[in-house]
Structure 1
Amino acid sequence: MDLEKWVDKGIEFIADFGPKIIGALLIWIIGSWVIKKMMKGMSHVMNKNDYDESLKKFLISLTSWILKVLLILAVLGTMGVETTSFAAIIAAAGLAIGLALQGSLANFAGGVLILIFKPFKVGDLIEAQGELGVVKEIDIFTTKLNSPTNKLVIIPNGTLSNGNIINYSAEGKLRVDLTFGVDYGSDIKLTKDVLMEVLTSNPKVLKDPAPMVAVSELADSSVNFAVRPWANVADYWDVYFETIENGKEALDKAGIEIPYPHQVEIRKEA
């Protein structure tokens, strides 16, 4: 008699929960297959767009976990388990974590944006947040620069991604801006020819775009010439300092005077 009772209860249980269990298993199998295909497609897209390897792994792992949590909630809901409380707990935990890690999350979001949109890459010379340096490393939370004086500069990605960024390496060429002042009695054409010869004789100065020398200002005590050579990024400082030194020597050799500031003192007799 007891056996028949247990058999009846078993049949009743199977009738009630069998379809739900089968449905839950089907949802789990199909959902897992879909998630696997989505992750494979996501990885393919990231590889095609040359995403940073660390960012690619992180985004794939994060997306996979989110989809799996949603799949588990769907399976539990199919089996008749109330998932509203689970969703509320997850939302509350997410809010608490977000408030506790507000600054870190901002830096994380900034790092993701930098790694996705790539305003600069490792090895680029950039200026940002009042700092100038070569990009040494791009992490999820910070970006590290080597300054011209070989100091390590660490900038949080949150502020970096929200501020102005000057990438000196992006175009591959830089214009060197210099100004030479000569005496008002100097011959303008001769001065331009001497300075242009300094530029064209330097192998580090690019021929395209062509260098330029032009009168830029009639100052108080000098005629100022704008000297504009172009150089590769790696040669920028060499061209800058060599042009100053060679320009001074060439002007001296040509007898063209570089004036210095004069001060006139007027005394009133008693």
Structure 2
Amino acid sequence: MTTTEIELYFKHIKDLILDYSPKLVVALVILFGGLWFTSFVTKTAKKLMLKQNVEITLTNFLGNIIFWTLRVMLFITVISKLGVETSSFVAILGAAGLAVGLSLQGSLSNFAGGILIILFKPFKVGDSIEVQGEHGKVEEIMIFSTKIITATNQVVYIPNGLLSNGKIKNYTQLGTRRVDLDIMTNYTSDISGLKAKLEKIASSHPLLLSNSKAEVYINHFTDTNIHFTVRVWTENVHHMQVKSDILEQTKDLVQL
């Protein structure tokens, strides 16, 4: 390579630096300013939603959407300032998104299910639910799955697609719950006396709802026993205690 060629080469590099330096500086300013702006907007949006008592799960989800939408827009803006043709880039990004979407249909179904759960709130964090054969307390609602802690302290992750399309039994949502008890006795028992005693025991429990009363009636007969049903209402948190107490107090009344 001759001296003239070397000089031309360095001159070309110098011209490129002089030509792209302003674009690079502007792009860097936009980049760092945009990074601060996206974080600021996301934090502000989350604070506003929390002040409006928006559920934390929905707040985090919407915050993530705002954050990544702004980041993608920032990235496109920065590369456009560097002289990159953004129309072709957006077309490639769209094609890649379509390919990824087709290959991840199950994940997208779970993602859509997560959105439906967050928006329509069939349950929330802390609720006791029964779904897909599992019964436990909702620990966390994520974008693709929901984390449940069972009564035996097992962690169960259920895909949101199944949750949004299946039957969900929420034991917590209404705040109160009915306790149903099956009491058996034989045909030699004093039916009227037993019924009166069951009503007295069930009605006297201190954890019953003040505006409800105990119901006692004969449910059905078998070849050897008469089955009574006892129904009382209490708060969700007292359900098992009320059930256990009434069963304990009635064990000496029945004759089998």
Give the TM-score normalised by the residue count of structure 2: 0.71
- Select which of 223, 226, 250 maps to 1:223: 226
Give the AA of the match of 2:162: T
- Select which of 88, 91, 94 maps to 1:91: 94
Question: How far apart are 1:59 and its partner, in Å?
Answer: 2.3
Question: How far apart are 1:87 and its partner, in Å?
Answer: 4.3
After the TM superposition, which parts of structure 1 deviate over 4 Å for at least 4 consecutive aligned residues? 38-47, 65-73, 81-84
Does residue 55 (structure 1) correspond to residue 58 (structure 2)? The answer is no
Higher alpha-carbon deviation: 59-68 or 39-48: 39-48
Aligned to 1:199: 202
Aligned to 1:173: 176
Larger Rg, first or second structure (1 or 2): 1
**For 1:55-86, what per-residue CA distance to the aligned partner results, in whole angstroms no more than 9, with x for missing partners?**
1211222443566689899x99xx9x987644
Aligned partners of 2:221 and 2:227 also within 8 Å: yes
Aligned to 2:191: 188
Q: CA RMSD in A?
A: 3.1
Give the AA of the match of 1:60: I
Give the AA of the match of 1:182: T
Aligned partners of 1:107 and 1:158 also within 8 Å: yes
Aligned partners of 2:76 and 2:86 also within 8 Å: no
Alpha-carbon distance in structure 1 between the residues aligned to 2:250 and 2:73: 66
- Select which of 206, 214, 217 maps to 2:217: 214
Identical positions, percent = 42
Unaligned runs of 5+ in 1: 1-31, 259-270
- Cα distance change on mapping 1:217 and 1:57 into 2, 3 Å: same
| Count of matched residue positions in the alignment of Structure 1 and Structure 2 | 216
Aligned to 1:25: none
Give the TM-score normalised by the residue count of structure 1: 0.67
Question: How far apart are 1:201 and its partner, in Å?
Answer: 2.5
Unaligned runs of 5+ in 2: 1-33
Residue pairs, 1:114-263, within 5 angstroms: 114-249=117-252, 251=253, 257-258=255-256
Secondary structure in 2 aligned to 1:177?
strand
Alpha-carbon distance in structure 2 between the residues aligned to 1:215 and 1:68: 71
